[in-house]
Amino acid sequence: MRTSMRLIIGVVNLLLFLLPCISTQHCPAKISPPDLDSPESWPVQKPLHTGFMSSIVHSFLSSVQPNHFPKGLFIKVLKPPATIDTATIKEFLHYELGFLVCVAIGILYIILMPLIGMCFACCRCCGNCGGHMYQEKTNSINCRRRSFYWATFLITILILAGNICMFLSNTYTHENVRSAPGEFNNTLENLQSYITIIPEQVDEVVNETVVVVDNVTNNIKGIGLLLGREIQRGIEGSINPALDSAGVMAQVLQNTSLFLSTLNATQKELDLLQTNLTGVKTRINKTLHYPECMNCIVLQTELGKLSLASGLNFSSFNKLHSAVDQVQKTDLNAQIQKGKNFFENIPANVTEATRDSVQKVQQDLQTIKSQVTEVTSDIPLDQLTTISDTLSTVQENQNYRSWIDLAEKLRWNIAVVLCCLILLVVVCNLLGLMLGPAGLVPKDDPTNRSSTANCGGLFLMTGVGFSFLFSWIFMIVVLILFLIGGNMYTLICVPWNNQQLFELIDTPGVIPGFQLSQSLGLKTNLTISDVYMDCQMNKSLWNTLHLEEIIDLNNYLNVSKYTGQVQKALESSNITLPSIVLLDSETKKQLSSFSAIASSVNISSIKMQKVITPSIIGLGYIADKLEALANNQTNATVKAELQNEAKDLRFIQTQFNATVNPQLMELDSQTEHFGHLMSLINGTVQNVLRLVGSAQGVLNNNMTQMVKSKLTEFIDCQIGVFTELVDWTNQTITEQVGRCGPVAVTVNSVENILCSQLVDSLNAFWFSLGWCMVFLIPSIIFSVKLAKFYRRMKHKDEYLDNLMLTPIPRVNLKPY
């Protein structure tokens, strides 16, 4: 009991100083659409082994072909009707002038080298051109030999460097050709994954639209719960404190009533004991006045001390008890429960009031969903399916790989033979350069040279023979590869890199039936170059292909008409909550009366234990006296009456100790807390009336406006979802769907495979071979010159080194 009283006092004090805050919640329908899935980007695989020759070959080809890309010439030839006349041929020859000069030099090389070789062979057979086995010894012979040696050595090293480049470029070409089909397939797979994901992105937009509309539909269906909770949050800041304070007041009244009931029960017990005690006291007085009672006059003076309730006064609590009863008759708890039921039934009332509007709004929402999803119907996804099927067919058809492998194997073998023949010339030169000096003794007579030196000279002449025999054939290979690889670089790779090739393709009529703008139905002149540049910046297909000219996106995404109908339908809902009176006037009146009476209660009048305890102790004392007096009596009647009267006193004392005394102790312990509670009753009642009045004012004056306000917020929330949906759909379709960066990567990958891996490798090979062909000419010359210093001569040089011969004067004959 004491704990409950303290708890009530604490709650009352808390309610006097604190009010709950109004809770807020964000719009429950707010949705954040996800980002679209995008294809993984892949880097362009740069060739690893062609850079060592690319810059040199590119510089040479730029010198050979300094002219710009002949766009106009290609247009004349490719655009129907093709005009190939004399002017066109002259223009083409002028453009190819650098190549023609190189071809002329190559043809001259091809013609002259075998002719010179045949002449050289014939002269040697006749004993001339190095075939005459005689060497004149002069003072400068050693200097000449050294000069020819180092010249031949340097040229041989240069040929060897070109030959190494041939081997390397052949190996790299082989690796690139073998890897090109796999890289090409990977490129096609990446492109196909990009094409495949575009419909998936479109489906994501459609699915997200369906999800958003379904969420809004669910919100509209649950308008009673969502809007009802918002209305509850709007009034709970005033109604909850009022109901809570009224509930605390009802508990205070209940505990006060309980306390007063206990007080009245105690008073009744005391009154009953007092009546019994008075009767016993009368009988004792009568017995003591019997003549037969011996020595009874002594107890007559003690009998006057028997008193039980002298000092008890509970009459001041009667009005308080009556006031409590009057308040409880108003059934305060029932009124509180009525207010709670009103608060809890708000969602159900809103649901019932908006039932018809929700059904109409659901139809409009389905119309919005259908309209937004139709935006994808005009996007040409069928063409993407056709392209994807074509790419799949190309990937599945692997027959070309066997032909590529066979051709590459043949090319590899031929290139290895060419490299080995050049290496054979280099080996002959190097053997000659090693054996010649190793076996040569400069002071020996040329006819007595060693076999080692003679062998070195023969190796040099063998290299010369191989050079004459194969160089013109090698030059044919150089010319063919030069014309193919050089023109591919200048006519395909260079314009591809600077996008002039795209400009040629964009020219109307160059590719019959190809017009990008017309095929898409665009008014804007859309070119391949523009598409490529946009894809380089990873723009969306919408912006790249200017699809806004063929698809009116605003027509599909303009849902304001239907959202207006939704808003109008919801606003027309007549949401009227039933009126309620939290506390009626009679209850307020009785609470005020109770407060006034409770404030005037004098708690200090309850002084029970301190007054009654001495009297109770006197009962046992007098009972003992009576029993002692009875024992001294001779009259049996007097003795019996005294014993009975002593027994009655002890019964009264026992009854008091068993029932009344615990109640008195409990009341005495509650008196202080009850008094403190009574001192706060006035403030508590005033606070209850103030909070209830404030809450009643909100319900009477602000409820209608607040319901409209919350309804407006709810409608704005749902309309805002559609606005966000439209903005997201618009932004997603125009900026995210089909970002064509993978297309640019595909184009760059194909360019890399064709130009950087194949063409550059091919050009590096013919350039290395041509390098060797150029240096074979001085190699032949110096090898022939040097070989004579090592070969064994057949004829001696007959002159003395230190003998100076005086010329004999000739006789002048006179003509007579």
Q: What pLDDT, on a 0 to 100 scale, did the predictor assign at position 154?
A: 95
Dist. CA 327–CA 316, nearest whole Å? 18
Higher pLDDT, 348 or 37: 348
Higher pLDDT, 512 or 102: 102
Q: What pLDDT, on a 0 to 100 scale, did the predictor assign at position 311?
A: 45
Q: What pLDDT, on a 0 to 100 scale, did the predictor assign at position 163?
A: 92
Contact 327, 587 (CB under 8 A): yes
Q: For residue 90, what are the domain limits?
A: 51-192+404-512+752-787
Q: What is the CA radius of gyration of the chain?
A: 62
Tens of pLDDT, residue by residue over 174-219, are 888 888 777 878 888 888 888 888 777 777 877 877 787 778 778 7
Confidence band of 34 (pLDDT split at 50, 70, 90): low
Confidence band of 799 (pLDDT split at 50, 70, 90): very low
Domain-located, residue 87: yes
Domain-located, residue 165: yes
**Sign of the four-CA dihedral 321, 327, 329, 335:** negative
The two tokens of residue 676 are 């403190």
Show the 3-state SS of 87-129. Answer: HHHHHHHHHCHHHHHHHHHHHHHHHHHHHHHHHHHHHHHCCCC
Tens of pLDDT, residue by residue over 705-736, are 777 777 777 777 777 777 777 778 788 888 88
Dist. CA 556–CA 734, nearest whole Å? 14
Q: Is the pLDDT of residue 401 over 90?
A: no
- What is the pTM (predicted TM-score) of this model? 0.66
Contact 383, 272 (CB under 8 A): no
Confidence band of 381 (pLDDT split at 50, 70, 90): low
Tens of pLDDT, residue by residue over 409-460, are 898 999 999 999 999 999 999 998 888 888 776 666 666 677 788 888 888 8
Contact 346, 577 (CB under 8 A): yes
Domain-located, residue 763: yes
Dist. CA 210–CA 204, nearest whole Å? 10
How many domains in the chain?
Answer: 1
Domain-located, residue 92: yes
Dist. CA 380–CA 366, nearest whole Å? 25
> Which own/partner contact pairs does 619-625 have at CB distance under 8 Å and 24+ positions apart?
619/277, 619/306, 619/649, 619/650, 619/652, 619/653, 620/649, 620/650, 620/653, 621/302, 622/284, 622/299, 622/302, 622/303, 622/305, 622/306, 622/646, 622/649, 623/647, 623/649, 623/650, 623/653, 625/299, 625/302
Domain-located, residue 488: yes
- Tokens 């001294």 correspond to 632
Helix (H, G, I), strand (E, B) or coil at 214: helix
Q: What pLDDT, on a 0 to 100 scale, did the predictor assign at position 67?
A: 84
Domain-located, residue 652: no
What's the number of CA atoms in the CB half-sphere (13 Å) around residue 33? 26
Q: What pLDDT, on a 0 to 100 scale, did the predictor assign at position 808?
A: 47
Confidence band of 96 (pLDDT split at 50, 70, 90): confident
Percent of the chain with pLDDT over 90: 10
- Sequence length of the chain is 816
Domain-located, residue 473: yes
Domain-located, residue 205: no
Beta bridge partners of 134: 795
